[in-house]
């Protein structure tokens, strides 16, 4: 195993990383627990890794959804969103992945802020979990709002209850918890009592809605920007974000950013810039697999 220290405490590790646990949350969402002791040791809530499954794979940024320094493992929760993440579904316990770079990005700010609402939407529930846990362990009063499309997609409810003073679950179709979007209970709580900070992680449209919900209340709102990343070290410019007119890079200045300053409209357009090629890539892969 080769471990190099490079800029801002990033550990680059090249080795084979064994998957010791696979858990399927739904047909498209799954968890890997991977042996990566150096990364587990260095990881902080809010950081991510870039994974390359084999020598022909794309580099895929994934948030460190959990890390265990005793066991030397990191946990990744992955949604099959396109060709590469779909191919990753085929990995089983005992398989290895080629390389992992990380931990990357700035850790989340963790301190006793007072009352904090942690909002997770869909897959965003996984990355926000270590932030919630750290905030609780630092003495915050924590309220969790986690939202899913439907009951069968709900995961980690128990983990959230363990570190939340209050847990609210919402589903779009009302099949579990409250019916509706995460922004509904968020608005109700903000209108009813004092809240010191909101942390929202999920799809860009959800984070934009959360930031717009908190804006009139003047509550500091942190979002985690999952812009398209290539190198993950601030060199390519792919993940640039317009933060109140200033250009920032989500991979080194974030992923956490002030949700009231992010230009989400611009970001959402940029996020779709490769859609044509992503579709072609899925089609080509399907055809090759059928041969
Ligand atoms: C900091 C960060 C943390 C992330 N954490 C997670 C996570 O914990 N779990 C998870 O399932 N996904 C996570 N993602 C998103 C994940 O990286 C993409 O879903 C994945 O790269 C898609 O690759 P694909 O080939 O399967 O799909 P594609 O068909 O190539 O793309 C599907 C969609 O994913 C997005 N995407 C594509 N390539 C990238 C890229 N290089 N960087 C970011 N987004 C991309 C685009 O919106 C695209 O439309 C994270 C992204 C970032 C930037
Ligand atoms: S991914 Fe290249 S600058 Fe952020």
81 Cβ closer than 6 Å to some ligand 1 atom = yes
CA of 3 relative to ligand 1 center, distance in Å: 25
Cis peptide before 103 (omega within 30 of 0): yes
* Residue at a domain's end among 63, 79, 104: 104
Predicted local distance difference test score (pLDDT) of residue 16: 83
Percent of the chain residues past pLDDT 90, beyond the cut: 79
Point out the least confidently predicted range of 14-18, 39-43, 90-94, 108-112: 14-18
Whether the per-residue pLDDT at 37 is higher than 90: the answer is yes
Q: Which atom of ligand 1 is nearest to the CA of 29?
A: 11
- Interatomic CA distance for residues 65 and 226, integer angstroms: 14
278 Cβ closer than 6 Å to some ligand 1 atom = yes
Predicted local distance difference test score (pLDDT) of residue 6: 44
In 25-165 the beta strands, taken as DSSP E runs, fall at: 29-35, 48-52, 60-63, 66-68, 73-79, 96-104, 115-121, 141-148
Residues 81 and 172 in one domain: no
Indicate the top mutation candidate among 105, 247, 249, 274 to test ligand 2's pocket, ranked by most ligand atoms within 8 A of CB: 249
Pocket of ligand 2 (CB under 6 A): 229-232, 234-239, 249, 251
- Binned at pLDDT 50, 70 and 90, residue 56 comes out as confident
- Binned at pLDDT 50, 70 and 90, residue 137 comes out as very high
Q: Is residue 235 a part of any domain in this protein?
A: yes
Residues 55 and 17 in one domain: yes
| CATH number of the domain where residue 27 is located | 2.40.30.10
Residues 89 and 129 in one domain: no
CA of 121 relative to ligand 2 center, distance in Å: 24
CA of 167 relative to ligand 2 center, distance in Å: 35
CA of 104 relative to ligand 2 center, distance in Å: 11
- Tell the residue nearest (CA) to atom 27 of ligand 1: 82
Q: Which two tokens stand for residue 102?
A: 């990380």
- Our count of domains for the chain comes to 2
* Ligand with an atom nearest the CA of residue 203: 1
pLDDT tens digit string along 245-279?
A: 999 999 999 999 999 999 999 999 888 776 666 66
Whether the per-residue pLDDT at 52 is higher than 50: the answer is yes
228 Cβ closer than 6 Å to some ligand 1 atom = yes
CA of 106 relative to ligand 2 center, distance in Å: 13
Residues 124 and 99 in one domain: no
CA of 81 relative to ligand 2 center, distance in Å: 20
Q: Is residue 284 a part of any domain in this protein?
A: no
Q: Which atom of ligand 1 is nearest to the CA of 272?
A: 49
Q: Is residue 226 a part of any domain in this protein?
A: yes
CA of 24 relative to ligand 2 center, distance in Å: 30
Predicted local distance difference test score (pLDDT) of residue 15: 64
Residues 200 and 89 in one domain: no
Taking all residues of the chain, what is their mean pLDDT, rounded to a whole number?
A: 90
Whether the per-residue pLDDT at 185 is higher than 90: the answer is yes
What's the average model confidence in pLDDT over 95-110? 94
Residues 24 and 81 in one domain: yes
pTM of the model: 0.90
- Tell the residue nearest (CA) to atom 31 of ligand 1: 82
Residues 99 and 122 in one domain: no
- Interatomic CA distance for residues 243 and 20, integer angstroms: 39
What's the average model confidence in pLDDT over 100-105? 94
Whether the per-residue pLDDT at 289 is higher than 70: the answer is no
Cis peptide before 255 (omega within 30 of 0): yes
- Interatomic CA distance for residues 225 and 250, integer angstroms: 6
Whether the per-residue pLDDT at 2 is higher than 50: the answer is no
What's the average model confidence in pLDDT over 198-209? 96
CA of 253 relative to ligand 2 center, distance in Å: 10
Predicted local distance difference test score (pLDDT) of residue 282: 63
Domain that holds residue 267: 115-271
Residues 161 and 142 in one domain: yes
Whether the per-residue pLDDT at 198 is higher than 70: the answer is yes
pLDDT tens digit string along 138-164?
A: 999 999 999 999 999 999 999 999 999
What's the average model confidence in pLDDT over 274-289? 63
Predicted local distance difference test score (pLDDT) of residue 12: 54
Percent of the chain residues past pLDDT 70, beyond the cut: 89
Residues 88 and 147 in one domain: no
Which of 198 and 10 is assigned the larger pLDDT? 198
Of 188, 187, 186, 141, give the one whose Cα is nearest residue 166.
Answer: 141
Residues 140 and 214 in one domain: yes
Predicted local distance difference test score (pLDDT) of residue 281: 66
Give the chain's largest Cα–Cα span: 60
Of 207, 216, 202, 183, give the one whose Cα is nearest residue 258.
Answer: 207
């Amino acid at each position: 195993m080769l471990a190099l220290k490079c800029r801002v405490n990033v550990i680059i590790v090249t080795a084979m990383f064994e998957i010791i646990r696979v858990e399927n949350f739904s047909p498209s969402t799954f968890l890997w627990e991977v042996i990566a002791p150096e990364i587990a040791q260095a990881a902080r809530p809010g950081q991510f890794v870039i994974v390359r499954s084999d020598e022909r794979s794309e580099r895929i940024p994934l948030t460190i959804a959990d890390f265990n320094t005793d066991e030397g493992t990191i946990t990744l929760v992955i949604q099959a969103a396109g060709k590469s993440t779909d191919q990753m579904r085929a990995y089983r316990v005992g398989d290895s992945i080629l390389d992992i770079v990380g931990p990357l990005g700035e850790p989340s700010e963790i301190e006793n802020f007072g009352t904090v609402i942690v909002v997770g939407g869909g897959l965003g529930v996984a990355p926000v979990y270590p932030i919630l846990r750290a905030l609780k362990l630092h003495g915050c009063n924590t309220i969790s709002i986690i939202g899913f499309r439907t009951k069968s997609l709900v995961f980690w409810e128990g983990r959230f209850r363990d570190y939340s003073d209050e847990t609210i679950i919402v589903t779009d179709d009302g099949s579990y918890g409250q019916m509706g979007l995460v922004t509904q209970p968020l608005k109700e709580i903000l209108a009813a009592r004092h809240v010191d900070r909101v942390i929202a992680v999920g799809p860009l449209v959800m984070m934009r809605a959360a930031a717009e919900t908190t804006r009139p209340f003047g509550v500091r709102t942190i979002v985690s920007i999952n812009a398209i990343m290539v190198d993950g070290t601030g060199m390519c410019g792919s993940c640039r974000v317009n933060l109140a007119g200033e250009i920032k890079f989500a991979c080194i200045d974030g992923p956490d950013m002030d949700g009231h300053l992010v230009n989400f409209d611009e970001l959402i357009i940029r996020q779709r810039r490769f859609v044509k090629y992503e579709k072609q890539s899925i089609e080509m892969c399907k055809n090759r697999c059928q041969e």
